[in-house]
Structure 1
Amino acid sequence: MSDDSQPVRLVVLISGSGSNLQAIIDATRSGQIPAQIAAVVSNRPGVKGLERAKQAGIPARVLDHTEFDGREAFDRALMAQIDEFSPDLVVLAGFMRILTPTFANHYAGRMLNIHPSLLPKYQGLNTHQRVLDAGDREHGVTVHFVTAELDGGPPAVQARLAVRPGDDAAALASRVQRQEHRIYPLAIQWFAQGRLRMHNGQSLLDGEPLPASGYLIETEAD
């Protein structure tokens, strides 16, 4: 954590369009998140998220993973790039890379990810179709601290919504994304305020352990 006289510093990692990045930019500008986005780093060149960063006056960097000999070499270079900006929190916003344990451990307790499922269900990809294939009645999105286990860190905030008759994967994805833009800024806000922490592998809010789902937001107006 930065000292009280300095704003909390964020580094946001992206791989694509950066819609969650935009929600975070908007929330910092409005004052919802008492923090500064120190940099945006993408592992893919030419993506829309980089343009969003530039338009907001945020330093934007590209570290193309295809130019590295293996995951470990890329993660070492990425850590060096991130640490140049001395972040208090690393935010994965559609960052489509499986991270090495060394990377995850380096930022333990100060790295958040957002995943479009009700974790621990449906880790990995294609979550919306998997929900439909399973006949689930609810779906949602989870913000969680990052650990060495893929999508396995303790949840911080979770939004749930009903699966509607006639939903397809695209419809679910659109409704889930709207909740992403709601709960990711909220989780970052709580972290920046000193309210949200990870301790002994568990998420704490105001010093109290959160349930296995994290702080739960039920929503029908999605």
Structure 2
Amino acid sequence: MAKLRVAVLISGGGSNLQALLDMCTAEGSPAEIVRVISNVPDAYGLERAKEAGVSTTVINHKDYDGRESFEEALHQVLDSERVQLVCLAGFMRLLTDTFVQKWKDRLINIHPALLPSFKGLHTHERAIEEGVKFHGATVHFVRPAMDEGPIIVQACVPVLPNDTPEELGKRVLAQEHKIYPLALKLIAERKVRVSGEKVVYNGVDNLMNSAINPEG
């Protein structure tokens, strides 16, 4: 089976990108990152990609009149690389409904919360303020509404009594680095599909159970 052709969109340091690169460069990986695209010219994630031998492109949103023209340039690069799946990894731009629909079920994102709770920003601060006992991260297919879409994988961590947002965020990020490569692997191996607005799994129960144990 040919490897799934993947592009990763970034805006910053790219720690989740690194986790995806590590998975895709491992022997026998079912996926291949063919392009890393950043809207920020000096994003450190571009260096991570170059070190892994992956082609990079900068599409600076400031060079375009609006989101539509920016996304058209983005789509042209994705199309030229015959990309089959796009991973958002700290990509700090809101995408239009048109772009999301064009890439429906071929566009995934990771969010630092247990969706549908705590959509948007400052998730760790809000989790502590609300007094929830568990927090975590979610990988999901992207839909036009912010932080919505069929959930592929989640991981949870306990919220400790004296947690700061920084401490909680570090534990959540460690889980992000596990579940994002897992989600990509499941998609590349055709072990997940979208039915309605839910993800259906094919023979991955044991794998999923091992992935979502707190602090696993």
Alignment partner of 1:39 out of 35, 43, 57: 35
Letter in 1 for 2:214: T
Residue 170 of structure 1 corresponds to 166
How far does residue 26 in structure 1 lie from its aligned partner after superposition?
Answer: 0.7
The Cα shift of 1:32 comes to 6.6
Hey, what's the Cα distance between the residues in 1 that align with 2:42 and 2:203?
A: 41
Residue 75 (structure 2) aligned to one of 79, 85, 89: 79
CA distance in 2, matches of 1:199, 1:78: 28
Q: CA deviation at 1:193?
A: 0.3
Which of 199, 207, 220 in structure 1 is aligned with 2:215? 220
Preserved CA contact (<8 Å) 2:175 2:215: no
TM-score normalised by length of structure 1: 0.91
- SS state of the match for residue 116, structure 2? coil
Q: Is the 8 A contact 1:104 1:146 kept in 2?
A: yes
Q: How much does 1:201 deviate?
A: 2.2
Tell me, which stretches of 5 or more residues in structure 1 are unaligned? none
The DSSP-based 3-state class of the residue aligned with 2:193 is strand
User: For the residues of structure 2 that align with 1:32 and 1:183, how far apart are their CA atoms?
Assistant: 18
Moved over 6 A (4+): none
CA distance in 2, matches of 1:33, 1:200: 29
Give the C-alpha shift of residue 207 in structure 1: 8.3
Residue type at the aligned position of 1:80 = Q
How big is the shift at 1:70? 1.4
The correspondence for 2:177, drawn from 176, 181, 184, is: 181
**Hey, what's the Cα distance between the residues in 2 that align with 1:170 and 1:79?**
35
For the residue of structure 2 that corresponds to 1:141, the secondary structure is: strand
CA distance in 1, matches of 2:163, 2:35: 37
State the one-letter code of the partner of 1:219.
P
Question: Secondary structure, in 3 states, of the residue corresponding to 1:218?
Answer: coil
Cα deviation digits, residues 9-67 of structure 1 (max 9, x gap): 10010010000110111111223741111100001111110000111110000000111
Q: Which residue is equivalent to 2:132?
A: 136
CA distance, structure 2, for counterparts of residue 196 and residue 31 of structure 1: 22
1:201 and 2:197 correspond: yes
For the aligned residues, what is the CA RMSD?
1.8
Q: Which amino acid aligns with 2:77?
A: Q
Specify the alignment match of 1:153 in structure 2. Answer: 149
8 Å CA contact 2:25, 2:32 repeated in 1: no
Corresponding position: 1:89 with 2:85: yes
Q: How far 1:141 moved relative to its partner?
A: 0.1
Write out per-residue CA displacement over residues 101-146 of structure 1, whole angstroms, 9 at most, x where no aligned residue: 1110111111110000000011111101011111111100000001
Residue 11 of structure 1 contacts residue 40 of structure 1 at CA under 8 Å; is this kept in 2? yes
SS at match of 1:113: strand
The letter of the residue matching 2:181 is: P
Q: Tell whether the 8 Å contact from 1:33 to 1:188 is kept in structure 2 after alignment.
A: no
Residue deviations 1:156-195 (CA, integer Å, cap 9, x gap): 1000110012110100111100000000000000000011
1:176 and 1:124 map into 2 onto residues whose CA distance is: 16
Q: Which amino acid aligns with 2:161?
A: P
Unaligned runs of 5+ in 2: none
Candidates 10, 14, 28, aligned match of 2:10: 14
After TM superposition, give the deviation of residue 202 of structure 1 in Å.
1.9
